[in-house]
Amino acid sequence: MKPSSFAQLDLIKPLRRAVADVGYIVPTPIQAEAIPHLLEGRDLLGCAQTGTGKTAAFALPILQRLASNKRPPAPRTARVLVLTPTRELAVQIADSFRAYGRHLELRQTVVFGGVGQAPQVYACRRGVDVLVATPGRLLDLMGQGHLRLDRIEVFVLDEADRMLDMGFLPDIKRVLACLPRQRQTLFFSATMQPKIARLADTILTDPVKVAVTPSATPVERIGQKVLFVAQGDKRALLGEVLKDARVKRALVFTRTKHGADRLTKQLARLQVRAEAIHGNKSQNARQAALEKFRSGRTRVLVATDIAARGIDVEGITHVINYDLPNEPESYVHRIGRTGRAGAEGEAISFCDAAERAYLRDIERLIRQVVPVVEDHPYRAANNAPAKAPVAVFPGNGSQRRRPRGGRRPGMSAS
């Protein structure tokens, strides 16, 4: 029987206090399924997206393990390593460990690139209980002799699918080669493609398998719609969409870093407060932009896929795909930024003629046709399909009929 409250989980008192401090009462499905097995020391294969509560699912049992066997870490070593693809996600995971471990006397640090390494070197010098890291900076510190991984007791590989998408497989293999054979290993991925499953098979031993959401399934509470538009009219169309007062906090996705910067400047000319976040920005600039967005000082955050991975900001009312992604799984990750914690959200996609194939791939993956907004001011008439489901343009209060069973010509039924 799955626990229906944190009180039913076999957590030590300091962790129960910390859980209460952050207001947790009912564990999420992945927490209820994973925590009992992880407390027993089992390896775990988790298929879960950001926003499902997976960080607490692995952080709480890890902290309990460390607290039950207190010993000072050796200099330049760590007892736990959490490897994650992006700086933002590393910071968020480290913050979570700090919050859950606030009543425990444990040392932790986070290392990532884009900032000076001196404070990170100093933090690692005495040894740490929990180390959260991105691959590049971790390998840099190891190569300079500031850190070694031969004392790792628990290894967590988070966002494995994005790791591979970003080309980190060689780095992951270098890290794995430095880990001791005797360890507990936790492997998380939002999708479980064959290459992901093969990697999991090589590093896990008799793992418990937990899948809390079917791979690449959109959140049910998210309303989706697509607007067909010429590439040259996208900026003007975005300006129209943002006039809607219901768009209180919008995350806008572009395909390139240059496109994110250019769009941010164009929005400023339209008197829209926007910030860009992507890999070419310094870590300090990225954190500042994210904090402005989180606090509401910035209404629009323009991001690339890699930069936005792992960003968990409450209250995002709209995700706008200014450019459709060329990988359909990225669409699912994008729209999952809204509609969280029981709130409703909306995903609006702009599609030009060159992106029609991307839209077809997305619809095959999510197994549904995205409703089309036909009555917006920049509609590309020769691009809009006949007999497609009809959605309402943001700000247009009239309810339009949605034909049943409509499908674009040439669209497969799969």
In CATH terms, are 6-211 and 222-391 the same topology? yes
The per-residue pLDDT for range 119-132, each reduced to its tens digit, is: 999 999 999 999 99
- 191: which 2 tokens? 């999708």
E strands within 88-204? 108-111, 128-133, 154-157, 184-189
Q: pLDDT band for 285, please (50, 70, 90 cuts).
A: confident
Whether the predicted model's global pTM rises above the 0.85 cut: no
Give the sheet arrangement for strand 108-111, strand by strand: 108-111, 128-133, 78-83, 154-157, 184-189, 44-47, 208-211
Q: Which of 170, 216, 227, 169 is nearest to 193 (CA)?
A: 216
Q: What is the largest CA-CA distance in the chain?
A: 69
3-state secondary structure of 402: coil
Counting Cα atoms < 13 Å in the Cβ hemisphere of 90 gives 27
Q: Select 222-391's CATH number: 3.40.50.1000, 3.30.457.10, 3.40.250.10, 3.40.50.300.
A: 3.40.50.300
Residues sharing a CB contact under 8 Å with residue 99, sequence separation 6 or more, in sequence order: 18, 21, 22
Q: How confident is the model at residue 397 (pLDDT cuts 50, 70, 90)?
A: very low
Structure-token pair, residue 6:
């944190």
Helices and strands in the chain, H and E counts? 15, 15
Q: How confident is the model at residue 77 (pLDDT cuts 50, 70, 90)?
A: very high
Amino acid at 159: E
pLDDT tens for each residue of 269-281: 999 999 998 877 8
**H or E element that contains 100:** helix 87-100
Q: Which of 63-67, 183-187, 373-377, 405-409 has the lowest mean pLDDT?
A: 405-409
CATH architecture for residues 6-211: 3-Layer(aba) Sandwich (3.40)
Is the confidence at residue 260, as pLDDT, over 90? yes
Share of the chain above pLDDT 70, in %: 86
**Mean pLDDT confidence for 88-107:** 91
b/e burial code for range 265-280 (CB count within 10 A of at least 16 → b): ebbeeeebebbbbbee
Task: State the average pLDDT for the chain.
Answer: 85
**pLDDT band per the 50, 70, 90 thresholds, residue 340:** low
Q: Could you report the per-residue pLDDT of 360-390, keeping only the tens digit for each?
A: 988 888 888 999 998 899 988 655 444 445 5
267: Cβ–Cβ under 8 A, 6 or more apart, which residues? 238, 239, 242, 274, 300, 302
Helix (H) or strand (E) holding 294: helix 283-295
Asked whether residue 43 carries a pLDDT value surpassing 60, the answer given is: yes
For the chain, the structural domain boundaries read 6-211, 222-391
Give yes or no for residue 63 having a pLDDT over 80: yes
C-alpha 243, offset from chain centre: 28
